[in-house]
Amino acid sequence: MRVHADSEHVLEPGDLILAGALRPDVHYAQEMAFFRVPLYLLDSSAQALRDGPATRISGSSGLPALVSQFLGSLARTSSSQRTAVNSRLALNTADLVALLVSEVCDDRRCSAPPESELLLRIQTYIQQNLADADMSPEAIARAHHISVRYLHKLFQADGTTVGSWIRQRRLDACRMDLRRRRRTVAAVAQHWGFTSPSHFSRVFRQTYGITPKEWQESALHDA
């Protein structure tokens, strides 16, 4: 089977393609299923896939095989059966796809050129210290023995800023926390480094289109 997105991909049965915008041109297909998952249901790492080229993933083993089998079974399930558990099934499907996206992005980082290794180490450091409300560009630069100016330059070359990158990771963590734990919005926000609950609620709504409370109530309702 050949599929054209930004480039041609030859697929074997069970293979997957991750793409931000896929316009299929299938020449030898017996059966192919397409799933659209909103970015706000995935981790922020999915942004790299949206802006980058389509990625072919072998579905022969590991997590890709699990995702392929699950999505294949879901595609063969009747629409009436899917509707009965629609919201919860959608969230669980998005979680599984998010795991796959994360694995793909991790593999890309491992093959990144040497000049990006420092940025990747810094991003890992930030991820490990998200709950520290005092984390700042100055503290991050000091921990990596570089200047603040050079730190900002690294992130600018990656198309973002230090503050935006940290904020998005904190929002991702809060979103997942609100789905899986019965904690107040203020407690979750404080745990992940947001010192102002009102500021957290405002940026959450700007990013995801709903308030943290609405997101939490929707997730708990579907649980």
pLDDT one-digit tens code per residue, 20-61:
665 545 444 457 777 777 766 666 556 556 556 677 788 888
The parts of the chain modelled with pLDDT lower than 50 are 1-6, 24, 26-29, 84, 110-112, 114
Residues carrying CATH 1.10.10.60, the chain = 115-222
The residue with tokens 């480094």 is: 193
The predicted pLDDT at position 4 comes to 45
What class has domain 115-222? mainly alpha
Tell me what pLDDT residue 170 has. Answer: 94
Q: What integer pLDDT is reported at residue 60 of this predicted model? A: 81
Gap between the Cα atoms of 170 and 47, Å rounded: 15
How far apart (Å, rounded) are the C-alpha atoms in residues 124 and 108? 14
Question: Which pLDDT does position 43 carry in this prediction?
Answer: 64
Nearest by Cα to 61 from 98, 12, 102: 12
Contact (CB, 8 A) for 118 and 154: yes
Q: Exposure of 188 by Cβ count < 10 A (0-12 exposed, 13-18 middle, 19+ buried)?
A: buried
- For residues 119 and 140, is the Cβ–Cβ distance under 8 A? no
CA 67 – CA 151 distance, rounded (Å): 37
pLDDT score for 1: 45
Tell me the residue type at 184.
T
**Phi, psi at 74, each rounded to 5°:** -65, -40
What's residue 6's pLDDT?
Answer: 45
Q: What is the DSSP letter of 140?
A: H
| Verdict on whether the full-model pTM lies above 0.85 | no
